[in-house]
Structure 1
Amino acid sequence: METDSNGPPKNTMTETLFVVFLRMVAISCFWFGMQYWALLVGYSGGGGARFDMLDPAWRAACVSLAVVFPIAALGLWLVVSWGPVIWACAALVQVLMYTVWRDIFGNNLTVPIMHAVILCVYALFRIALFLERREKAGRVSSGLP
């Protein structure tokens, strides 16, 4: 972040877009979490998929993801370092659910593809931020503004 002697730090366009991206992912994580909670308490699915009616595998997955996704959403929204880590854990569980254990959880390729796209965009942002900071450090060490 660049600072100006007369004001708060100035973010670059890449940093601003990265924060917007993380907050969009946070909203989707919150949505996923609320969907799992709605399923567990019987609000969605006509009450046919309440916690007490689920198979043990679905119970474990739904309860875990109902807790982990809102925590990931908070971390992503606040742009703290643990947010993407918690998201990655939740995403990995969902990807495993719908690819490796599809005979138990069903075949839903939309979710793994969505997580893969988010991971790729996240990686591109991190690379862009790294290159931007490296270029800025090179300018500072050479005495350029």
Structure 2
Amino acid sequence: MKNFGGSEREAARDGSAAIRIGDAGAQEEKSIWGLILVVFMRVLAALWVFQGLSQWGAILTPREPLFDQVNGLFGAAVIFFAILDLVAAVGLWLATPWGGVLWLFSAIAQIFAALMIPGFFATAWIGVNMILIIAYFALTWRAGRAREDASRRR
């Protein structure tokens, strides 16, 4: 049986400790970069919910029979993004590490789908995804640096 210390015991009782980023027991200073990262992730989550729901709209309410008119790769991509985009959006909204990873996977998959499946995504979407990925990495890096600087000051 593990013997919990004071802060570990409090973290074990805290129900939201599983979705916190970083050490759940530490009382870290809130940095502006961490806040900007969370806001950015929530805006991305809203965008990815919209994308996921538009894919589900193509499945559930097509103007013409979708899977009869398109090739199998196009239909598989619709189903793939209908599921992945919504799951990634939930993870982004919760600001969890797995949400960021799923979102990165989804964004990279969208870039490849735009290149490999003509007409599935607009070509401009490649550039938008690249900008979003670079912004995500930059904000994550800045938030991590701010957290390291705050822990060094202690």
The TM-score bracket by the shorter chain reads 0.7 to 0.9
Query: Offset of 1:20 from its aligned partner?
Result: 0.6
Corresponding residue of 1:26: 45
- 1:45-66 Cα distance to aligned partner (Å, 9 max, x none): xx12523433201111000000
Corresponding residue of 2:84: 68
**TM-score, normalised via structure 1 length:** 0.79
Corresponding residue of 2:101: 85
Flag the 1:125–1:107 CA change in 2: closer, same or farther, 3 A.
closer
What 5-or-longer segments of structure 1 have no aligned partner?
A: 4-8, 141-145
2:49·2:89 contact (CA, 8 Å) conserved in 1? yes
Q: Residue 54 of structure 1 is aligned with which of 41, 49, 70?
A: 70
Corresponding residue of 1:38: 57
Corresponding residue of 2:134: 120
Corresponding residue of 2:8: none
Give, in whole Å, the separation in 2 of the partners of 1:107 and 1:80.
Answer: 27
How many aligned residue pairs are there?
Answer: 130
Deviating 4+ runs (over 4 angstroms): none
Higher relative contact order (CA 8 A, sep 6+): 2
SS class of match (2:146): helix
1:36·1:65 contact (CA, 8 Å) conserved in 2? yes
- 1:94-116 Cα distance to aligned partner (Å, 9 max, x none): 101112x14x4467222111111
Q: Which amino acid aligns with 2:138?
A: L
1:40·1:49 contact (CA, 8 Å) conserved in 2? no
Flag the 1:10–1:132 CA change in 2: closer, same or farther, 3 A.
closer
- RMSD (Å), alpha carbons: 2.1
